[in-house]
Amino acid sequence: MSQDTNNEKKATASRRDFIATSGLVAAGTTLAGLHVPLVHAADSNTIQIALVGCGGRGTGAAANALSVKAGPTKLVAMADVFDNRLQSAYQGLKRRTPAAQFDVPQDRQFIGFDGYKNAMDALKPGDIVILTTPLAFRWVHFTYAIEKGLNVFMEKPLTADGPTSRRMLELGKKASAKGLKVGVGLMSRHQRALQEAQKRIADGEIGDIVSMRGYRMAGSDLASFRSQKWPGSPSAPSELLWQISRFHSFLWASGGGFNDYYIHILDHLCWMKGSWPVKAQGVGGRHYRGNFVDQNFDSYSVEYTFADGAKLHFDGRCMDGAANFYSSAAHGTKGMAILSASGDCGLPSSTYTSQNADNSKKIWEAKVPNDERDPYQNEWNDLVDAIRADKPYSEVEYGVYASLTGTLGRVATHTAREWTMDQVLKSDHEYAPGIDKWTMDSPPPLKSDAQGLYPVPQPGIVIDREY
């Protein structure tokens, strides 16, 4: 299929160009010569935090925010559409947080689709808002954060379709133009072992990368894959809230399991390569879904192709009774690298002069200090360091492209067609149009049929989109 000329040029950029434009601190996203206001210098006030989205990942991010090394932080507001989730997060964080860092009275606990505004209104410019709701809401919340002059940490993935991807890229530019710092929860980029591996690969230690492999295998209980039929009774939540509570089951809310759980491996492999893939094809299927009410496949196998012809092969599986493992590797013209092994996100990373992980051919193995082994904490330390030192810092661009890489593989598999990155980015199909106007009474963007079932991908039948 034809490729957009600009996209082709971008994809063929050298590893060093890619690293310069989309590395840990993307200085290039700040407009040249723009005065960026100094906010929260190292000796200034406490940075206040608001949490929008109080599920497990949001609670974890808040705990990391309150454990940063560079100066004091305090949680002052929380918001969610579910009161029970907010209360669970509130109690958990309160138990393990010093009183001086936790000040969330009832009048700063907000429930509903407009709660994000109330939570951000409790902050002052230069504070941080954590955005950890399902990704469909990301662009809405990010827009308001920029208007309020807030620094942002937002969980991956950022998008699941073309229109919101384009929107987020533009919002990222606006945030940088205002001097705001934005972190994205792709914690692999903050794993010190992977950072060292990336430097070694960029310096040519294993030669030019020609092939990469990634695997993530887990049981069917990964995320909310055991969703049953919506009860459909007055005593049950609305169908919209029911879908949000099981967001991994629905493409509109999360991009499904492919986007949400495979993104880390896809992102760090593309980081090692120094570019994003230009096209993909894939196979997969629903082998043992049973009565699960979701839009996911049990298994995925995707072949990504880069502009120089190099390949990335990714296999993912959510299936009970099968082998579970998580690993990634890169093969170059002079050797190979083990990036992640045994599910430990880059520990230990290692390089070899052969195409096998042969200890006699080992060049290097990562050694990371104990206090920097947690990439979730590292990403927060790095973000707050940038805020305190007023350094340009934006992870939006690579956050969007990592999300698009997931969408590319997922759509190729769900339609049984080869798709290009350019096609996905330019697509007009939006999963949740008008989401910025939703209320608790809004209908869901996807409705169940008379049997309580939802449309599932039909490879080879529905080929222009997934349902």
Domain with residue 37: its CATH number is 3.40.50.720
- The average pLDDT across 210-217 equals 96
Domain contains 331:
no
For residue 3, the model assigns a pLDDT of 38
- pLDDT in the model for residue 265: 96
pLDDT score at 13: 39
pLDDT for the residue 46:
96
pLDDT value at residue 9: 37
Quick: pLDDT tens for 137-158: 999 999 999 999 999 999 999 9
Q: What is the mean pLDDT of residues 261-290?
A: 94
- pLDDT at residue 159, as a whole number: 98
Torsion sign across C-alpha atoms 122, 124, 125, 127: negative
The stretch 89-114 carries a mean pLDDT of: 97
pLDDT tier for residue 1 given thresholds of 50, 70 and 90: very low
**pLDDT for 388 beyond 50:** yes
Sheet architecture: strand order including 47-52: 109-111, 73-80, 47-52, 128-131, 151-154, 182-184
With 80 as the cut, is the pLDDT of residue 344 above it?
no
Mean pLDDT of 227-237: 71
Token pair of 208, please?
């030019």
Residue 448 lies in a domain: no
Instruction: Evaluate whether residue 83 is within a structural domain.
Output: yes
Per-residue pLDDT, averaged over 383-397, amounts to 97
Residue 26 has pLDDT above 60, yes or no: no
The stretch 242-246 carries a mean pLDDT of 91
The predicted model gives 348-353 an average pLDDT of 95
Kindly state whether residue 368 falls inside one of the protein's structural domains: no
Q: Please indicate, yes or no, if residue 85 is contained in any of the structural domains.
A: yes
pLDDT tier for residue 92 given thresholds of 50, 70 and 90:
very high
Q: How far apart, in whole angstroms, are the C-alpha atoms of residue 192 and residue 360?
A: 24
Preceding peptide of 105 cis, ω within 30°: no
pLDDT in the model for residue 25: 38
Binned at pLDDT 50, 70 and 90, residue 111 comes out as very high
When pLDDT is cut at 50, 70 and 90, the band that residue 216 belongs to is: very high
Q: Cβ(214)–Cβ(265) under 8 Å?
A: yes
- Residue 384: which pLDDT band, with cuts at 50, 70 and 90? very high
Tally of structural domains, the chain: 1
Is residue 239 in a domain? no
Q: Is residue 21 part of a domain?
A: yes
The predicted-structure confidence for 8-25, as pLDDT tens digits, reads as follows 333 333 333 433 334 433
Does pTM top 0.95 for this prediction? no
Does residue 148 lie within any of the structural domains? Answer: yes
Q: Which domain holds residue 79?
A: 15-188+376-397
Q: What percent of the chain has pLDDT over 70?
A: 87
pLDDT bin (cut points 50, 70, 90) of residue 429 is: very high
Q: CA-CA distance, 283 to 414, in Å (whole number)? A: 8
pLDDT (mean) for 77-94: 97
pLDDT of res. 27:
36
- In this prediction, residue 291 carries a pLDDT of 66
